[in-house]
Chains A and B, each alone.
Chain A
Amino acid sequence: MAKILDKQRYKCAMSAMSTVQAIERAIPILHSGPGCAQKLSNSSGSSGYFSPNIFPCTSINEEDVVFGGEKKLRSTIENSLKIIDADLYVVLTGCTPEIVGDTVEDVVSDFVDAKKPVIFASTPGFKGNNYKGHEWVVNSIVEQYLKPSDHKTKGLVNIWADVPYQDEFWAGNFRELEKLVAELGLIPNTIFGYKRGIENINKIPEAQFNLLVSPWVGLENVKIMEEKFGTPYLHYPTLPIGAFETSKFLRAVGEFAGVDKEKVEAIITEKEEYYYYYIERFADLFLETRVMSKKFTIVADAQYALGITKFLVNDLGLFPAKQFIVDDTPKEFRKDIEGYFKDLNYDIEADVSFITDGYKIHKEIESIDYHGYPLILGGYWEKEIAAKVNAHFLNVSWPVNERLVMNSYYVGYDGGLKLIEDIYSVVKTRFN
């Protein structure tokens, strides 16, 4: 049922157009109203090879609502193939055609012999948010485009993580996850960002296993791939940030892939030495700042709420106050996720709430005694409450405003250092 969306943290399923956009040379064709793409587009890193104002769109009008928009969809697909030079065309449906009952699947099936692949995903806004829409697009690629492969490439690992563009750091995070996996001697395969695209999509069925780095997003995808291609998967819920979690991550992936333990430990030792070279040099700052608090709150999707909580507790020795997960996590995953927040050093357990009402989140933050300056990492909405409770504030989750992220990342050893830089760049704006 409809619910109050106060300080909204996600968009509708058709924002999965950004998932398509994140695949180089893949283009969404929108069967929707004329303005959906502009509304759903992210102004951050949007003018790539394709941008939302390039996306073909049937621009549904009143007549199409009455008589159906199938004819227009057909001519739009036909002409998209002629005008736009892409490797993959993904038809996405908005609210209107789904309610009036356009048979999109039939129209798309007419393009089975087109010179380039044309697939579709049902993504009406009322069916779910963009975390789900992202999964549906990946499912469409798996189900409609890919075929099982007899050939498996040893060591080839498909890496899946959270939602491009919704995660402001997606581009950098993916690259760093690849580097970590490659350190183990494995061959990473991702489909999002610079020079990945259709060739990497084609390799998906050949992988030795799927690595899903997310609390819940994408679980549906790796299960479908297991069924269709027989690819096993490792579900690693925590986005690894900083030394403690990244080393754990490397051990888990290494073990799953059958990498020699000694080799893994040697890599970890080297990486931790490197990481602690920097931590040691700056430890005085961390300890001897008058204004750094011990207690923090994260307001983010499950990915960042969990990843950053683990980092701040297990790496930096801070204490979780209350954490808020705002991605409307499907109920079936919530219990497991709560469990991950209880698995912290020194038996520390983080209290976590699944909540989409920003007003209530802010009321709760106001009621917490942080026993010092609160540290709040969240969406742009938290800037206001952070000012009210005199907190250090860093905007890490959607919506992200007033900061620019191009290729930086929070994943891994270097990602942890970057997050520390960002936090202390805020902390250092105060003396006392």
Chain B
Amino acid sequence: MAMQLDISDIGTRESRLGSITGYVGDLKDLATQSNCGSLKGCARCFSQSSTCLSSCALSQLAGIRDVAVVHHGPSGCSVTGTGIYAVTKQVAAKRGIINNSVYIGTDMNEEDTIFGAGDALKDIVLETYKRYKPKAIFVSSSCATGIIGEDIDSIVDDLREEIDVPIAAVHCEGFKSRIWATGFDISDHAVLSTIVQPPKQKRNTINFKNFFESARDEIIEIFKNFDVVPTFLYANATVEELSHISEALATVSICGTLGNYLGNGLEEKYGVPYIRTINPLGVVGFETWLREIGKVIHKETEVEKYIEVERTKYLPQIEEVAKELKGLKAVLGMGPGYTFEVSRVLQELGIEVLHAAAWHYDKKYDNGEVPPAMEFLLENNPNFEVSVADQQNFEVLNILNRLQPDVYLSRHPGSTVWAIKQGFPAVYVADEYMIFGYKGTLDFAHTVLDTIRNRSFEKNLAKRVKLPYTDWWYKQESGLFLENK
């Protein structure tokens, strides 16, 4: 699908990628139905709260160094900025830099929903610019401004005459997509359409799309072996760095869901190759990914040499701990960028995957192809149960109750605690680099082992708490409320 960088809005994942948020079945069926076009996402007649796409879009943009986000909406919408401020300060401090980005709300009130607040928004953006001299400004809509038809595109166009830094209209009406990952695409679109400049020269850099660059030092060291420098996106990245990402040798991403739009966009518009292998999680993932990078940047020999050295160091240790993990049974619930990747790693470590719940599922990525992690599993691994569960806690707990796994793995705040309340050990795969490379895989294997070896915390807690769901619910099928099955 051709990207249109000359307009500010983009299609949702549902419309662009055929993404769905409701499904119950297994891996092979999901793939078959995706291929033959019979896969229709199910809606739910009962659902629990999940995530707003604006949180994803604007927290990505707000992490860029020294920028301003102006979120036009009631005070609940812009509250994202409060959490992001603390994270931004902490990840900047870790790196020893200062990030002065600001996140401003417009505190829209009832009168504004009737008369609009375009003039006020304009004043607020100008005042923000005057106060902080940001290097770029992102002006976002919300549900309320979207419904009343506030024309943020025209307002931003007018502001361009008065503000001499990149300024983007960012369309974040929360109701337009059930898939919060659409927000990642929205942020990428804003960066691609307003900050990234056409290439003037090739640079010895690799764009590295991630969340909070926790493995920054490690990756810089790895890439030194291949004589390239990673540019981490977006947290802590400067607007100047972003303007040059079209000049990189390649783009990689720690998460397929996160990197899809930017990676494909840079390739389509500027010919920057997007590395589309399985992700660098686990041994197979890391090596496959690294070899592809080597191929693209013509450093195959150096990559093989690096792999050889690291294998000697880590593989025996990983094999040792994998012996202890063999035969364990796991259920996992994550965004699709991780569900199928982590399923592979678990199987690599000898753990049986009983069920993988993906919060959504992209039938294809923006290049028109099936997500590589899914493709890999279909070709190499045994079939297992899959659901597309949209972070629906009641469905996950129902599944856990039915399958009684040894461990539950999840990647989203507020999800693992419910597994432990039900008595199952749980591993919170929070950091995007938790299973990165050989060392990450080793650390992860030990974390799983330690988790299942000492179950005191969850046993103590589970014994004393009552679960919020009725017995009736635990007797139903987890997909009971899916419509149009």
Contacts and interface: CB of A to CB of B under 8 A. Distances in A.
A288 interface: no
Interface residues of B, number: 71
Contact of A65 (B79, B175, B418): B175
B38 interface: no
A158 interface: no
A200 B106 CA distance: 39
Given A10-B75, A36-B52, A399-B86, A3 B472 contact: no
A127 to B, nearest CB: 6
A38 interface: yes
B117 interface: yes
Contacts of A59: 44, 47, 49-50, 178
B175 A1 contact: no
B106 A5 contact: yes
Contact of A35 (B50, B121, B147): B50
A301 to B, nearest CB: 14
A128 B468 CA distance: 31
Interface string A81-116: 011111000000011100110000000000000000
Given A14-B76, A84-B470, A53 B49 contact: yes
A407 interface: no
Contact of A75 (B45, B86, B128, B391): B45
Interface string B71-101: 0111111111111011001000000000000
A47 B420 CA distance: 11
Contacts of A65: 147, 175
A320 B419 CA distance: 49
Nearest to B111: A1
A39 B178 contact: no
Given A1-B111, A126-B109, A53 B74 contact: no
A99 B468 contact: no
B174 A35 contact: yes
A33 interface: yes
Contact of A1 (B109, B128, B176): B109
A76 B417 contact: no
B143 A381 contact: no
A314 interface: no
A57 B75 contact: no
B442 interface: no
Nearest to A379: B82
Contacts of B109: 1-2, 126-128
30 contacts: A1-B109, A2-B108, A2-B120, A3-B120, A4-B104, A6-B128, A13-B76, A34-B180, A35-B180, A38-B51, A38-B414, A39-B79, A50-B468, A53-B414, A54-B468, A56-B47, A59-B50, A60-B175, A72-B45, A76-B47, A79-B481, A82-B472, A83-B394, A85-B470, A96-B175, A99-B147, A125-B74, A126-B113, A126-B144, A399-B82
